[in-house]
A and B are shown apart, each in its own frame.
Chain A
């Protein structure tokens, strides 16, 4: 009985200390932020006119071809990159994305808002002051119907299914490397050369190899959805990923950065079962030995 009381005291002190240095301390160091908003409610009023309309993919095709392919590739539709990554990065600051998957990756309202005003939708207006302008011009001059048509077209050409890696490449890799995904050949460097992206963003965007361990699922979920929530003033744009695409990005970070997770979760219970058996034998042996001396 006395041993159990002592154990209760030891456990209580350990848990109080643990609570103080882990959950409590971290709640103080990392203020709570609102959950991820996959509806992008703040852009809805900017695109209310577009939302009220139904897009026509066929006219959207003509509009996209005329307005976008001068800078953007759409490989799937036979529009190759105009320049290689390095040259386009030198020209625009950052390599422009291929638009073949945009209709799947990005929330439709966000996409419309982005076409209208890229800096505002991606919440990086603070980067483009004093005469600096976003490399992609805004299309506020277009009719709402035209924007709705372009979004409809982009959605119509987007693949239905994408692997986690494909989602990562199209959503993140223009700026971010994830070198652990291919240490041997180094194919997972950022598309934009380091020097250009550093100049464009102010600093080199981090390699994401270990972000699943250094930031964790919960932080990444709110951060990717809206970087300004955690890092006010950061140069990283809000990219407008749908919930599904963002989950795929985080799943990819986990595949690369915590590749042994499945092994760990599979092996853990086996270790614990073995140790429970060990402990039972320990107590039985103890009982046998101490019966003679008590």
Chain B
């Protein structure tokens, strides 16, 4: 056992036993981030904060929420919203954060795509990030069911039904997921378990992994310049702070994050207090009724693009039913981002504006996703259905051409 001397302070006492000084260096004061960054690099801290808000507000909501189809709606809309002190505030914070967190996730994700931060050693950052996107999506979906309103019920009905398209075991799978032949009490209680236990704990685990994946390849920078982090860190520690290309996480990087966070929180709390209907759909303030289908069923805005890929294929093609084609396209849309690092055949890391074809590709993708998102909400009739079909087809084509155009970019530059 190590020899312990008498400590002169609590800090020293802890340092002897836990090496807090070393830990602080590794995680904070000597955890190096590139200096050449912009505010888009603050999205990680914004996400961590928003997740914290979700966790804390969620804990308060859970104290009063009742996962039972006969009690759930009133426990949310009466007990929490009208009776519990500040219950309405926690619910609004939770509902709005659940929506806004996806806005920040998308900004974070497309920042990564724009600057090429997913490849050449950074694949695990990307994959763990996409796993977070998937687990957040599951958390969003399961949480939306809990108030047991009309949209809770019918979204659950539509989405669980999709699993019926899985070959051979489809029908059995739907029953297994629902825990009943219909969306019912058993469905609510299991999604409650997923939402308040399994998913948050999984998300917390993956967040840990996501942070760790940054260790070895380091954070990318605005010009995708490659440099030796150890060398630059030495310069910084030697006092050449202006010359060094890196900054420590604490306090330099975090100071910028907090400034951005301040602006974000003004935006977020404005929505919480004054503009929340986009995140808390009015339709869901009608109690679930399995006898009345709402006139329009649509998912929350952050699922609309993939939902539109699903329903964009509205007619049978070459003997395949529209349902099957849509389902395959939906699976494609949800899986394709995961393999992005291998679809990009350009061996160099560069921001999109230094890659002529990729630059066009990026903005076409953004435009297509916005079209899909908007048309995912509109009633799928007449022209809307055709816009959906072409936008969904375009989405697939966009990813199919990625290997080719990235290869051409590299060739023209003389890198391949």
**In the complex, residue of chain A having the shortest beta-carbon distance to the beta carbon of B266:** A275
B265 touches A263 (CB 8 A): no
Known: A21-B304, A214-B283, A278-B262. A289 touches B255 (CB 8 A): yes
**A290-B282 contact in complex given A183-B78, A260-B88, A275-B269, C-beta closer than 8 Å:** no
In the bound complex, what is the Cα–Cα distance between A128 and B283 (angstroms)?
31
Q: Is the CB of A25 within 8 A of B82?
A: no
CA A16 to CA B372, docked complex, whole Å = 13
Give the contacts of B359-375 with A (CB-CB under 8 A). Answer: 366, 370, 373-374
Decide: B373 and A286 in contact? CB cutoff 8 A. Answer: no
Q: Is the CB of A3 within 8 A of B282?
A: no
Q: Can you list 19 residue pairs at the A/B interface with Cβ under 8 Å?
A: A6-B39, A17-B301, A18-B278, A21-B278, A183-B78, A210-B285, A210-B287, A213-B77, A214-B285, A216-B277, A272-B270, A272-B273, A276-B266, A279-B262, A282-B255, A285-B251, A289-B252, A293-B244, A294-B242
A276 to B38, CA, bound (A): 21
Which A residue sits closest to B377, measured CB to CB? A25
> Given that A28-B379, A206-B286 are known contacts, is A275 also in contact with B241, CB under 8 Å in the complex?
no
In the complex, A268→B275 CA distance in Å?
11
Chain B residues with a Cβ closer than 8 Å to the other chain, count: 54
Contact A14 B263 (CB under 8 A): no
Contacts of B88 on A, CB cut-off 8 Å? 260, 263-264
Chain A residues near B284 (CB-CB < 8 A): 214
What residues on B are CB-neighbors of A214 within 8 Å?
A: 282-286
Report the separation of the CA atoms of residues A262 and B103 in the bound assembly, to the nearest whole angstrom.
Answer: 29
Query: Contacts A13-B370, A20-B377, A183-B78 hold; do A29 and B296 have CB atoms under 8 A apart?
Result: yes
Q: Indicate if the CB atoms of A2 and B38 lie closer than 8 Å.
A: yes
Residue B23 at the chain A interface, CB threshold 8 Å = no
Smallest distance from the beta carbon of B31 to chain A beta carbons, Å? 15
Q: How far is the CA of A176 from the CA of B242 in the complex (A)?
A: 71
Say whether A292 faces chain B, with CB atoms less than 8 Å apart.
yes
- How distant is the Cα of A23 from the Cα of B378 in the complex, in angstroms? 11
Instruction: Report yes or no: B273 in contact with A265, Cβ–Cβ below 8 A.
Output: yes
Specify the chain B residue showing the minimal Cβ separation from A183.
Answer: B78
Complex Cα gap A175–B82 (Å) = 24
What string of 1s and 0s marks CB contacts (under 8 Å) between B24-67 and chain A? 00000000000100111000000000000000000000000000
Contact, CB under 8 Å: B38 / A282: no
Interface size on A, residues (CB 8 A): 53
How near does chain A come to B260, taking the closest CB pair, in angstroms?
Answer: 8
Contact A17 B370 (CB under 8 A): yes
Question: In the assembly, what is the distance between CA of A201 and CA of B38, in Å?
Answer: 62
- Please determine whether A293 and B262 come into contact, CB atoms closer than 8 angstroms: no
Contact B252 A293 (CB under 8 A): yes
A110-151 vs B, CB cutoff 8 Å, 1 = contact: the mask equals 000000000000000000000000000000000000000000
**Do B251 and A10 have beta carbons less than 8 Å apart?**
no
- Interface status of A232 (Cβ within 8 A of chain B): no
Out of B263, B295, B301, B366, name the residue touching A21 (CB < 8 Å).
Answer: B301
In chain B, residues 224-266, which have Cβ atoms closer than 8 Å to a Cβ of chain A? Answer: 241-242, 244, 247, 251-252, 255-256, 258-263, 265-266
Q: Are B262 and A282 within 8 A (Cβ)?
A: yes
CA distance A272 to B259 in the complex (A): 15
Query: Which 9 residue pairs spanning A and B have beta carbons closest together?
Result: A279-B262, A268-B273, A20-B374, A214-B285, A282-B259, A213-B285, A289-B255, A282-B262, A25-B377
Whether A275 contacts B265 in the complex (CB less than 8 A), given A21-B373, A215-B282, A285-B258, comes out as yes
Q: Which residues of B contact A216 (CB under 8 A)?
A: 277, 282
B256 and A290 form a contact (CB under 8 A): yes
Residues in A neighbouring B374, C-beta threshold 8 A: 17, 20-21, 24-25
**Partner pick for B40 among A6, A260, A268, A288, CB 8 A cutoff:** A6
B255 to A286, Cβ gap below 8 A? yes
Q: Which residues of A contact B266 (CB under 8 A)?
A: 272, 275-276, 279
Please give the distance in Å from B168's CB to the nearest CB on chain A.
36
Can you add 12 more A-B contacts, CB < 8 Å, to A278-B265, A282-B262, A289-B256?
A6-B38, A21-B304, A210-B77, A259-B81, A268-B270, A275-B265, A279-B259, A279-B266, A285-B251, A286-B255, A293-B242, A294-B242
